[in-house]
Chain A
Amino acid sequence: MSRVKTLQALFQRYRRPGDIVFAWVVLGVSLFLLAQIFTQTAYKPNGKLFAQPRFWPAVSLLGMSGFALFHLIGSLLSERIQGRWQEVLLWASSLEYAAWFIMYAVLVPWAGYLPSTVLFSVLLVLRAGYRSKTALISAAVSAVVIVVLFKTFLQVKLPAGQIYELLPDGLRQIMLTYF
C-alpha cells in the first residue's frame, strides 16, 4: 500500500484552482487534433518517413496527448482545491477584453488611428473602474503619446482612417500621413 502511495506522490504537484478543468480541456483538444491527422495531413508514398509532411504534426500531437494525459492524472491524484468554477468564470471574463481589443482593431481603419486610440483608451479606463479626472486625462494623453511615437515618429504601417477623407485639403494630408 505504501508503495502505491509514494507512486501517487510522484504525480502530485503544486496546483492552483481550475487546473483540472484545464487538464481535461487540453487532453480533449489534443485528442481531437490527433484524430484529424489522416484528413488534415498528407502522406507521400515514396518519401522517407522523417521527410513526410505528416511526421512532425504526428510527433507533436502524440507527445502533446501523452503529456496531457499525465498532466490530467497528476491533477486527479492531487488534493482538490476549492474555487474551481470561480476561476473558470474569471478566465471567461477576459473574453470581454478580447472583444474590446477586436472592436478597436475594427474601428481603426475606419475612424483613424488617433481618434480611435483616444476614444478606446478613455472608454476602457472608464470600464476598468476609474472615474477621476486625472485618470481620464492621463488616458487621453497617453493615447496621444503612443500615436505620436509609433505613427508620427516610427512611421509604423497602420492604415489611414477613412474618416480623414472628409477633412479639408491641407489637414487631410497631414492626418493621412502622420496620425
Chain B
Amino acid sequence: MFENLIAGVEMLARWDVFAALLVGSIGGVIIGAIPGVGPAVAIAILLPATFSMEPIVGLTMLLGIYGSSMYGGAIPAVLINTPGTAVNALTSYDGYPMTERGEGHRAVSLAYSASFWGGIFGIISLILLSPVLAYIAPMFGSREIFLAALLGIILVILAHRGQIFAAGLLAMFGIFLQTVGLDAVTYTQRYTFGYSFLSSGINLIVVVLGLFALSQAFFLLTAPDTSPDAKPVTGRMTDGFKELLKHKRVATVASGFGVILGMIPGTGEFTAQFMSYTYAQKSSKKPDLFGKGSPEGLIASEAANNAVPAAAMIPLLALGIPGEALTAMMLSVFYVHNVIPGPQLFQNNIDLVYGLYMALILLNVIVVVFLLFSTNLLTRIIRVPTRFLGVMILILSFVGVYSLRNSLTDCMIAAGFGVLGLILKRLNLPIVPIILGMVLGGIMEVKLRSSLPRLKTPLDMIDRPIAFILFSLILLVLALHLRTLLKEYRAHQPELDHDMHDTQMR
C-alpha cells in the first residue's frame, strides 16, 4: 500500500495537476457559496472542457469542485439561512440561530472544522478500505454488477420518501432515455421515430446540462430578482478547531454515517446528514438546543456531508457504479479517456486511484487554508443578483453543450430538458433519478446481456456468494420499506415535513 501512496503522490507532483486541483477546489468553494449555483451545475458545464485534458488533470479538477463545494455552501447556510448547496440544508437549522445570537463567526469556523474532520475521515476510510476493495472487486462479474445497479435504482427511488411515485417514474424515464437510438447489439432502431439525430441516442451530458444547468438558469430568470445579503464575520477562524475537539464523538460518528451511506449507491449526503443529526440529538446532553443553535447539530450535519464525496468514489472506482448525480457525471470523464472504472482499475491503474486519494486530501487542506483568510471576501461574492446569475449560467451552459460536438440539435434537446428541469424544480420533484436511471439503466442492460450465456436457469443468477448477498439486500430493502409503510398506515401518522425533501441539486 505504501508504494501505491508514493505512486499517487508522484502523479500529483505536476504543475498542471496541481493547478487543476487549485482551480477546482477554490472554484468549488466559491460556487458552493453562491446560492443558486451548485457543484452539479459547475461540473456539468466544465465536463466537456475536461475531455481534452489528461484523465488525472480533468478528474482532479472535477473532484476539487465536488469535494469543496460543501465547505462553501455552509457560509450562506449559516449567515443568511439559505443553503449554498442542497446538502447544507440541515446546517442552516443550527447555524442560522447561532448567527442571530451574534455567534456567526463561531458557527462558520465550527462548520469549516467539522467539514475538514468529515472530509479527512472519509479519505482515510477510503485508503484503509482500498486493499479490501482490490480483493473484493474482481469477484464482481456481470451478474453482480447488474444486481448492484438494480439495488442502486431501487434505493434511489425509495430514498425519496413522500415522493416515491415521482422518483420511480423519473428513474424509469431515465432508463427509457438511454434505450433510445440504435441498439448496439442487434442494430435495430429504438424509439427514433425515423429521425436520424435520434439514431445515435440521447447524449447523457446534453441531458445533464439541460436538467441541471439550463433549468437553473431558467429557474432564476423566471423568478423575481433578489440579492442575498450576508454580513461579514469577525474573529479568528481557527477557534472552531478547538471547540470541535470537545465534540469528537459526534464528529466521528457523523463522518462514519457519511462514509457508510456515501458508499451505498442512491442514498448519499442528505440521508447521511439526516441520520447523523438525529443521532447527535438523541445522544446529546442538551437535545432541546437542536434547531435553536446547537453546535453539535451543526457539527453532525457538516461532518456527515463532507465525508460523502470520498466514500462515493468507492462504488464508482471499484465497480463503475455511480451512487449519485455528481459521480455519474465523473463516470463520463473516465469513459471518454477509455479508463473504465471497475474491478480492473485496481489492477491496472492503481496509481490513478491513489492519485485521486491524494488529491482529495490535498484539496481539503487547500480549502481550509483558503477559507481561513477569505470568508469575508466570499460574503461579498454571494451578493450577485439572482437573475444576473441566471444569465451567466445560460452563457456557460452553451459552452458545455455546444463544445461537445458543435451540434445545434444538442442545444435544442438541452433546452427541452432545461424546461423539464425547471418544471421539476418548481414542483420540488427530484432530478437525480433521471440521471441515475440513464447511467444505471445502461449498465444493467449491458451486464444482463453479457451474463445471459452463463445462465441455464434463472436461479443461476444468484448462485454466487456476492450475487446472493446483493439479491438478499434487494429483498431486505423492499421488505423494510413495506414494513415502514404498513407501520405508518396503522399508526395514522400525520404527514412529515416534506420541505426537507428540497433535494433539487442546485
Contacts and interface: CB of A to CB of B under 8 A. Distances in A.
A1 interface: no
B6 interface: no
B179 A60 contact: yes
Contacts of B166: 67, 71
A71 B169 contact: yes
Contacts of B218: 94, 97-98
Nearest to A143: B395
Contact of A91 (B173, B192, B423, B445): B423
Given A94-B419, A106-B408, A10 B169 contact: no
Given A13-B495, A41-B190, A41-B191, A157 B406 contact: yes
Interface in B459-506: 485, 488-489, 492, 495, 498-499, 501
Describe B's contact surface by its main secondary structure.
helix
Contacts of A142: 392, 395
B78 to A, nearest CB: 26
Taking residues whose C-beta sits less than 8 angstroms from the other chain, chain B's interface range is: 35 or more
Interface string A29-41: 0100100100011
9 contacts: A6-B489, A51-B452, A60-B175, A91-B423, A98-B418, A117-B395, A129-B387, A146-B396, A146-B399
Given A40-B190, A57-B179, A90-B426, 20 more contacts: A6-B492, A14-B428, A16-B427, A16-B428, A22-B429, A26-B169, A51-B448, A56-B175, A60-B441, A63-B175, A87-B426, A97-B217, A101-B398, A101-B414, A102-B415, A117-B395, A124-B394, A150-B49, A156-B48, A157-B406
B212 to A, nearest CB: 15
Contacts of A59: 175
Contacts of A150: 49, 399, 403
Tell which of B168, B175, B179 has the most Cβ of chain A within 10 Å: B179
B206 to A, nearest CB: 12
A36 B397 CA distance: 33
Contact of B406 (A70, A90, A104, A158): A158
Contact of A60 (B176, B423, B448): B176
A3 to B, nearest CB: 10
Nearest to B416: A98
Nearest to A14: B498
B132 interface: no
Interface string A125-140: 1001110000100110
Interface of A: 6-7, 9-10, 12-16, 18-19, 22, 26, 30, 33, 36, 40-42, 44, 47-48, 50-51, 53, 56-57, 59-61, 63-64, 66-68, 70-71, 74, 87, 90-91, 93-95, 97-98, 100-102, 104-106, 108-109, 117, 120-121, 124-125, 128-130, 135, 138-139, 142-143, 146, 150, 154-159
Given A10-B485, A12-B495, A94-B419, A18 B427 contact: yes
B391 A124 contact: yes
Given A6-B492, A135-B388, A101 B501 contact: no
A91 B426 contact: yes
A128 B488 CA distance: 47
Nearest to A138: B388
Given A63-B172, A91-B419, A101-B398, A128 B225 contact: yes
A18 B226 CA distance: 24
Contact of A154 (B49, B419, B485): B49
Given A50-B449, A98-B416, A63 B395 contact: no
Contact of B188 (A6, A10, A41, A124): A41
A57 B190 contact: yes
